[in-house]
Amino acid sequence: MMSKPIGTAADRLLVLLLGLAATLPFVNYHARLVLEPDFPLDAIGLYVRTIRDWSWGRLPAPSAAVYFDGHSMIYAVATYAYEMVAGLFGRTPSFVHSAVVSVGLVNAAAHILATLVFFSTAKLLTGERLVALCVTVLFAISPQFLTIGLERVDRLMIFPLVVLMHASVVILRGGGGVRLGAAVGAAMALLAATKISGFLFAVLPVSALSIAFAGRGAWQAGVWRGIARRLGSTLAVAVAVGGPLLAILMLRQILYYDGFIERLKAGYGMQMLWTAVLPSTPRFYYNIDLFAGYGQVFLLLSLAAFIAVVIHGLRNRDLCCLWLSFNFILFSALGFAAFKYDRGGYHLVPLYLYALAIAGGLARRGAHRMPVRGRIPGRLAAALPVLCLLVPVAVVARNYTDVAAVAWGRPEAIERTRFEPRDWIVRHFAAGSRICMLGGSEWAGPALKDTEMRIVTTPFDFPYLDVPAMGNFVTPRPYQIRSACDAMVFNDFHKGLYPGFLRLQGHDARAAEWETLFRSMSDAYPPVVFASDHPAYYVSKIEIHDLRGPPSAGAAQPEWEMTDPKLSPGAAVRIGETGLTIGDADFPLRRGRFAGSVDVAGLHIHNAASEVDGKGAAISVQGWAVDLERREMALWLLLVRGSHLQAVSRVELVRRPDVAAHFTQPDLQLAGFRGCLPLAGDWGGGDEPILLFVLQHDGTAAEMPLPPLRKSGADDPGVCH
């Protein structure tokens, strides 16, 4: 049978309050946007709609990912319930608010339950109430857990992980039965249906079953039948409960089972991409560095505790100590070989603390047996293990107050770094303005999703999972940035992160180029700064560079000057052998040393009338163009119909690694472009040819043959949308 909760009602109440304090202050109750980059908002929305419509058979096929849908289904049920309860009180929260708050509450509940289960396990292992309470404090407000945002799925996975460990200890202590089997099955189903590597945690109960079977003399005649009956029934219940639950949580994978293996391989490939980027050293990062938040005393106590656990397990054939030693060595070895990051290795936290619990219990019982004269010295000897544990308790408590202070200041920080910059941009830029950000940083910048601004990342899509591409990720020319962007927005987190990634992979020169570009931009276009005293999900400062006007006077000014032909649609055009004349302006034509092509040209028709008279229509183009001798790139697009200029538009930079590879010049990846050419009226009909020219930074022009126009569709560059 599964163990009953251990400890007095007062102990359980204390642990419950501890769990509440460790989680509730960190729930984002005022959520207006998603701030965690891995937040499964789309999947939650999909399942909420499916629950409302009860349309489970119409679920779309899943895509390859590191995470499955198990957690998203649980979050969706909670979100749907939250919306229903809010409706009873006459409130209609936004879906984003409902989802973010619900995920926070679900993960908070999971952590509270994990804390209660952990205390029960620690009490089983140590037999000492005070020791169990001390290590439970270290678990509840663990620096590793507090580092992980409460909206991340890792906080949910801690609960089934601790349940598996508790069940393993119960099995090793001779327990079993229906409830234990059901708990194991449900926990394994949730882990396996959530993360692609979740099934690996099955080693916890499997190793417990193996050690229990071997350690209790199962090879002796008649003994193995009783053990097999008890453990077999537990395993059967685990399969009976976990199998159907896993099928429910993996519903989309089952509905589209024919592509499961390919998706699984692709998901593992995505996970392994991080091995090329994140560091593999220090080797003992997950055993030492990640526990630095507990203090040096904790590390010394842990070392002594594991030595004691191993010796006690081998000398006394203590099955729990043997199980703990085996899993600690196994997961430490996996961590030794794996890439290192601050959200990894949290599964080692309970193993460390269980070792401290066992060693603390052994020390207290040993102190009681010591021939110490006098009551006071004896009590001091027995209290010494608890006093030692109070040192790391004080360290993590101080860390908790610091983290909680940041959490309490988060609403103000979010307002300062997400919404005040958003409001400033909306006030100062017209609808459709191109707001550029570093690729992958959109979640950390101003909340522009519901505005009419156009977020552009193509010049800055940092390939942080592709080490060779990182080395060739050259900085765009300043004039290209001005051509592609009306404003450039940086946050302090990503602005330092990407050069750091480059240096981590040995690309110091490339990192210096990006840092020089950042400084040059600040020199030419001093930013408007929005800052907070506390970081809001890693970000404490937003910088907005308005690039619409000329650069300020200074050393960087020549780099940021941009050719402006000052042309208007309708101007007369004359095309000669060596030059292009538009109105009164002459532009030399480059022939011979110019290379380029238009890959896609899309015709956008906004209504039936525009298909006839052209009003409201536009042509979008995407391709590449470069003067191979002078390395000058396209800056403007000119559309000519007959003898008149039909449209003029700045280009948007699109990186073209294929062009750079073909010419074996890394900087030619900057030759790619795309742009939108709004058409003036009366463009349709007639036999006059339509010609496209690119105008380069040095004022020279080149003709770009247009492919057949396609109506807006799947191949459309989308820049006119």
Secondary structure, 3-state, 561-622: CCCCCCCCCCCEEEECCCEEEECCEEEEECCCCEEEEEEEEEEECCCHHHHHHCCCCEEEEE
Confidence of residue 381 (pLDDT cuts 50, 70, 90): low
User: Which residues, at least 6 apart from 219, have a Cβ–Cβ distance to it below 8 Å?
Assistant: none
Please enumerate in sequence order all residues whose Cβ is within 8 A of that of 593, keeping only pairs 6 or more positions apart, or say none: 627, 628, 629
How far is the C-alpha of 146 from the C-alpha of 278, rounded, in Å?
Answer: 21
Per-residue pLDDT, 337: 86
Pick one of 1.10.3470, 1.10.10, 1.20.120, 2.60.40 as the CATH number of 573-711. Answer: 2.60.40
% of the chain with per-residue pLDDT over 70: 91
* Under 8 Å between Cβ of 102 and 324: no
Q: Who wins on pLDDT, 156 or 363?
A: 156
The answer to whether 531 and 416 have CB atoms below 8 angstroms apart is: yes
What is the average pLDDT score of the chain? 88
Q: What is the mean pLDDT of residues 402-426?
A: 93
Distance, in Å, from the CA atom of 26 to the CA atom of 41, rounded to the nearest integer, reads 19
Rounded to two decimals, what is the model's pTM?
A: 0.86
Specify the DSSP element, H or E, that contains 365: helix 348-369
**Region 519-531 average pLDDT:** 95
Whether residue 529 has pLDDT greater than 90: yes
Distances from the Cα of 127 to the Cα of 47, 115, 336, 604, 658, angstroms: 45, 17, 32, 74, 66
Domain boundaries, the chain: 9-407, 414-560, 573-711
pLDDT confidence of residue 376: 56
Which residue has better confidence, 555 or 707?
707
Q: What is the pLDDT of residues 45-92, one digit of tens each?
A: 999 999 999 988 889 999 999 999 999 999 999 999 999 999 999 999
Closest Cα partner for 173 from 225, 130, 127?
Answer: 127
For residue 681, name the pLDDT band (cuts at 50, 70, 90): low
Helices marked H in 448-588: 467-471, 478-484, 492-504, 508-524, 557-560
Percent of the chain with pLDDT over 90: 58
User: What is the b/e burial string over 44-54, where b = at least 16 CB atoms within 10 angstroms of the residue's CB?
Assistant: bbbbbebbeee
Q: Read off the pLDDT band of 225 (50, 70, 90).
A: low
* pLDDT score at 717: 54
- For residue 466, how many other CB atoms are within 10 A of its CB? 15
Q: Are 213 and 220 in contact (CB under 8 A)?
A: no
Condensed to tens digits (0 to 9), the pLDDT of residues 531-561 reads: 999 898 899 999 999 999 989 876 566 778 8
Which segment of 198-207, 301-310, 687-696 scores lowest on mean pLDDT? 687-696
Write out pLDDT tens, residues 109-122: 999 999 999 999 99
The C-alpha angle with vertex 216 and arms to 214 and 218, in degrees rounded to 5, equals: 60
Is the model's pLDDT at 604 over the cut of 80? no
Residue 510 has pLDDT above 70, yes or no: yes
